[in-house]
Amino acid sequence: MKLISGTAHRALAERIATAVGTPLADVHVTAFPDGETFVKINENIRGSDVFIIQPSCPPTNHNIMELLIMVDAARRASAGRITAVMPFFGYARQDRKDQPRVPITAKLVANLLTSAGVARVLTMDLHAPQIQGFFDIPVDHLYAKPALIGYLRERHPDPSNLTVVSPDVGGVKMARAYSEAIGAELAIVAKHRISATRVEAMNVIGDVVGRDVLLVDDMTETAGTLCAAAEILQKEGARRVFAAVSHAVLGDLGRERILNSVIEEVITTDSVPQATGEKVRAVGIAPLLGEAIRRIADGASVTSLFEV
């Protein structure tokens, strides 16, 4: 087994290597003055089972291109099998044609990875789970829930006064999974998106009066959905508002919104380096990803990793 890290999230790759018990391979990744990426693998990987760890977080296009170049370098070095470990899969929101003359970029990224030489993809909490079908190669789709649920149970030991809330109708299935795991009630916030950065939350379906609420979503970037939902939940009588997000791809706008919102804490994973902020608590997923990598290398089942 050989573990290779790109520059997208080196700290996570080092934690995964520690969890697996295998050091990161000696790989030189740099850029020429004109911005072109150069990769050189400084050790023999002929016939090896290679895992390239690279979430496609911002800068998204750069990190995807860097991943493709690393895959090409590994393939030309006669790697036995190449697995792309993408804890966060960028472009996942562009999974269908919802307007005339627009691309399906998630499918394009799947094609690029396969054409470059990736034999398997390991990812976590895709924005649209059906993206697994865009690949003609195996996809191991993990969930952040096993990593987050332990911290959530510590934070909310008494679920009798807790309601898990989906900030939109599309996230009901995910919110239900969390509510059943914790033993809490379920509610929904119906939302209306005005633009890419602005969301107008509409009304609440379910009982939140006098209760602590936990907003659950797969990802947040500008935190517009979370903060709008939190505001209406407070207006509807919620006592305290928390949020659990698989991927917090936060920029300055998102951090500022969370800081100034009624949300007390955003619990997320360290799938991307942007998961930081004054009210943001990142839970480590290196043990989960490390165990998945070990099982893939051994040809074992990863199904039990879905269980809480």
CA distances from 158 to 152, 153, 163, 212, 273 (A): 11, 8, 11, 10, 32
End-to-end Cα, the chain, rounded Å = 28
Strands 2-5 and 185-193: unpaired
Question: Which residue in 40, 97, 191, 279 is the catalytic one?
Answer: 191
Give the 3-state secondary structure of residue 115: helix
Backbone dihedral angles phi then psi of residue 289, each to the nearest 5 degrees: -65, -40
Q: Are the C-beta atoms of residues 68 and 76 closer than 8 Å to each other?
A: no
Is 191 one of the catalytic residues? yes
- How far is the C-alpha of 167 from the C-alpha of 4, rounded, in Å? 37
Kind of pairing between the strands at 139-142 and 120-124? parallel
| Beta-bridge partners for 70 | none
Q: Which amino acids are annotated catalytic?
A: 191
